[in-house]
Structure 1
Amino acid sequence: MYSPTPDDWQDANRARWDERVPIHVASDFYELDAFRAGKDVLRAFELAEVGDVTGKTLLHLQCHIGVDTLSWARRGAAQVVGLDFSEPAVEAARDLAATLGLGPDRAAFVTADVYDAPTAVPDPAYDIVYTGIGALNWLPDIPRWAETAASLVAPGGFLYLAEFHPLTDSMDDATGSVVTDDYFSSEAWVDETPGTYADSDAPTVHNRSVEWQHPVGEVVTALAAAGLRIEFLHEHDVSLFPRFGALERHADGCYRFPADRPRIPLMYSIKASRPAPHER
């Protein structure tokens, strides 16, 4: 249900994520054995839009157990840093990095709230600040997030965001064709659903979550106001999970609407850069 932001939103969300870390580590959803063996978990559109990361430094905000973070290291990033507010998630990420033979000089993970990132990460700025997927909905204040993220982008570097499109949260679950909720709602969404996206049948105790919906225009405007230059905003007709009953799974593992029905955007991505001094 929608409600004003509860005072315990952060504690509730942290307890929920802490409890789900071991479930995710053991789940078929994350397939960590396959990941350790070399499976790449990054999405094709992300690889194309971010480009070559060889020799670059990359900060991943809200990294969870670090599979995306470590994938960028495997693709040649000189150093990756992952940040998450869940200590069990960070511990899992460190363990995973160790099994891949990536020491702290190549892959470091820190526990901190995303809004505290500038004082928590080891370096003041990065070539790439990366965030996604399913991250912004856990944050109440997008302008503050944008200011924080932008402050960590080095001159000549960029922020890259890949996210689920907020329009999907306004549509009916069965078909994704009927508007059922307010796209522009700014109130918190408080839920008590047990289980997790990685295992809906997993027994869980800490089920309370507090989330927010952020229109795409709010995100773009906040990044521009924080001093970044918007390079692109792309909308995608694919999802990573069957958000609507009408979606069909394709050979690439992504979900799309059937070819015979109108589409809506299911995900979006933004690249926003900080010009180098000579480019100003």
Structure 2
Amino acid sequence: MLNVHHLRTLAEVVSTGSFAAAAVSLGYTASAVSQQMTALERATGLVLFERGARSARPTSAARHLASRGAGLIDQLTGVERDARSLAAGARGVVRLGSFPTASAALVPGAIARLLRRTPEVAVQLDEGEPDDLVAALRSGSVDVAVVYRYPLSPRRWPPDMVATPLLDDPLRLTVAADHRIVTRPSWRLADLAGETWIASRETTAGARALARLCADAGFTPRVAFRSNDYAVVRALVRAGLGVALVPALADALGTGGGVHQCAVTDARGGPARREVFVLHRPDSSAPLVPATVEALRRAAEGLGRRINRQEPTCAPGTAS
């Protein structure tokens, strides 16, 4: 197989007209250029130069070989450039997993930030609940996953994954605009023991967190409607069909008015909330992972400030 470095040197000799000029251009000595051309003649069986006492004139074979090799050298240069870009995280594909609320409220800003810095990057997005996304990380079908957990329904992230906190997402009691507690100066969650509740699916951490919060207040919520789509949950509340516990992140989507929100304090006196993290494998070979995590972290900072500025529209209540 021909040595590509020798072909590159041949092209430079043909272009510049001499071994000495090619040596200056390539950063070699004239002797090194001569040795490379001798090696190329030996490898091809061609006479590439008519050598005189003070000159070496390219033959027609040398010009033909240099012309044919030019395209190959350009392609190789492009491959080398792509390899450097991939290694530096300046191009390539990153596979991102996220839960639906974050996909709508957090992920778009993070992807936009990432693409502004690295426009040649492609992002693939897939959605799922935390258990699905952890499994996808383990299998390698995603590189980075945005997940959540509820302190009221504790869970640990796998020890073989790096978990970076993104933001705290306060839980809001969401009621119809004309609900009786809206005008109360204070209230307790126990005041809602007789209400119809709207919750996420029974197997979800959100449903378990609601059950725990209500248990701390001394009752079991009577759940009549279940949906993992917070737009649906708010629509049911707006229609006066029940009350719900909705993460503030869902309201960052602008899912419409007609409801009031109340801050909720858990039994320990802190705000009821869920916590949002980004996970990745520490041994990931994807160079874009650090840049993606940083883009998510930056986007979460801005989103967290916006959430904290959203004041609840009725007095805070407590689970106790």
Q: TM-score, normalised by structure 1?
A: 0.31
Larger Rg: 2
